[in-house]
Chains A and B, each alone.
Chain A
Amino acid sequence: MGYRQGVRDAGDEDLIALVAGGDEQALSELYDRYSRPVYATGVRLLGDTQLAEDLVQDAFTSVWRSAASFDPARASFATWLYRIARNRATDLDRRRRARPRPAGEHGLYAIPGGPRPEEAVDAWDVAAALSSIPSEYREVLTLAYFEDLSQREISRRTGIPLGTIKSRTTAALKRFRQAMANPAPREARGE
């Protein structure tokens, strides 16, 4: 439990360093934090949920294989992962173009650009902001918004009193809002 909590409390750059050493729990934590924006990027750029799932799988396989090459001085983990996802989406799009398309399949989205690009960008900012707030706040927000649990259900799941869950939710939303308003210096994602 102690180590697992340590992983939950660790920052992204610390986690990727653990992944470079073969730590599966660290990979699992990074997946929990960033699979949604990678998936959203796949849906946005490829217009296909199956390909978006392939993108998620390929992107995190790349994270596992090349974690040792991550340099925190050059980019944040979120930016590094975004570039991996975007490059992989280009490959998947190219392969899909090479195959005959069934009649009626939607046209490919241009890369870069595409419909509502701000949605996927927001997903990355949201993931990075959630990653930066204390784990107990991230937990109540993740359970409420990504697992669709009521506050009573969160209380049962975590064993934390309902009154504490309610006040913690308010504090968590505030911290998240602050993190969104004051992000780390944003590197160019190359969109």
Chain B
Amino acid sequence: MSEDRFEKLLGPYVQGELSGSEERELEQHLEGCSDCQADLDDLRHAHDLLRATAGGPPPELKEWVMARARNEPRHRPAGSWRLWLPVAAALLVVAVLGVGVLRMVSTPSDGLALSATSVAPQAGGELRGERIGDNLRIELEAWGLPEPEEGEYYEMWYAKKGGGRVSCGTFTAQPEGSTTVSMSAPASAVAYPEIEVTLEPDDGDPGSSGKVVLEGSLRDLQAGLPTDVALTRST
């Protein structure tokens, strides 16, 4: 075997990828070649560094990051959010979810009332699901949301009990108060069945403010609630 050939085997050697005979031949060569031994030490160090940093986030997290990017408008100058949402305006949001969530919906006409919170007790909302091919199209209609302050906006989230929340995207509304926003989410949305609409400050913080104005659960879509279920209003 040539010197060049031995050198090319050093990488697979540190990875344990050589056959038994290749390994024996290389090790015999290393006993008499200080240059290859020095190279081997270098490559072992590189190998150890790469192994030490191999751990990372779960693969499906990337889908969420990319979905969130797709759902956000681009070229928004910092601090320039203008959310025209007069009181009692309706906000219609359409989210497309993957196969995992589809399994949670028993019939395409099920509707789900969203519950208002103390942040906006006069608000209400409704979720509807419709099957489109292998996906589930979720339609969210909301009304009575308070007019945001300067620099505030609404954001819709998929969440799960016990922590973990993924953004579907942020929305604006036209002054006349009715907006439809299409959003997408990956099939792994089945792990985040809770729906939240929050009021967010435009402070550059991508995390949730925790100020939930409407909430509900996709699990309840399985309950066969009638279509156009009555709005939920706090008294």
| Cα A28 to Cα B163 with chains together (Å) | 26
Residues of B within 8 A of A65 (CB): 72, 76, 204, 206
Residue A31 CB within 8 A of the other chain? yes
B205 at the interface (CB under 8 A from A): yes
Asked if A61 and B68 sit within 8 Å, CB to CB, the answer is: yes
Output the least CB separation between B29 and chain A (Å): 14
Chain B count of residues within 8 A CB distance of the other chain = 48
Kindly provide the distance from the CB of B169 to the nearest chain A CB, expressed in whole angstroms. Answer: 10
- Contact A141 to B61, CB < 8 A, known contacts A54-B164, A64-B72: no
Q: Are A169 and B62 in contact (CB under 8 A)?
A: no
Contact indicator per residue, chain B 50-81, by CB within 8 Å of chain A (1) or not (0): 11111111100110111011101011101000
Smallest CB separation, B162 vs chain A (Å): 9
Chain A residues near B66 (CB-CB < 8 A)? 24, 27-28, 31
Which residues of chain A have C-beta atoms less than 8 A from B42's C-beta?
174, 177
Which of the four size classes fits the interface of chain A?
35 or more
Distance between Cα atoms of A151 and B8 in the complex (Å): 14
| Chain B residues with a Cβ under 8 A of chain A | 7-12, 14-15, 17, 39, 42-43, 45-47, 49-58, 61-62, 64-66, 68-70, 72, 74-76, 78, 163-167, 204-207, 210
> 10 closest Cβ contacts across the A-B interface?
A170-B11, A169-B11, A36-B56, A167-B8, A61-B206, A177-B46, A145-B50, A58-B206, A123-B53, A22-B74
**Chain A interface residues toward B at CB < 8 A:** 22, 24, 27-28, 31-32, 35-37, 39-40, 50, 52-54, 56-58, 60-62, 64-66, 68-69, 88, 91-92, 95, 119, 122-123, 126-127, 141, 144-146, 148, 150-151, 166-167, 169-174, 176-177, 180
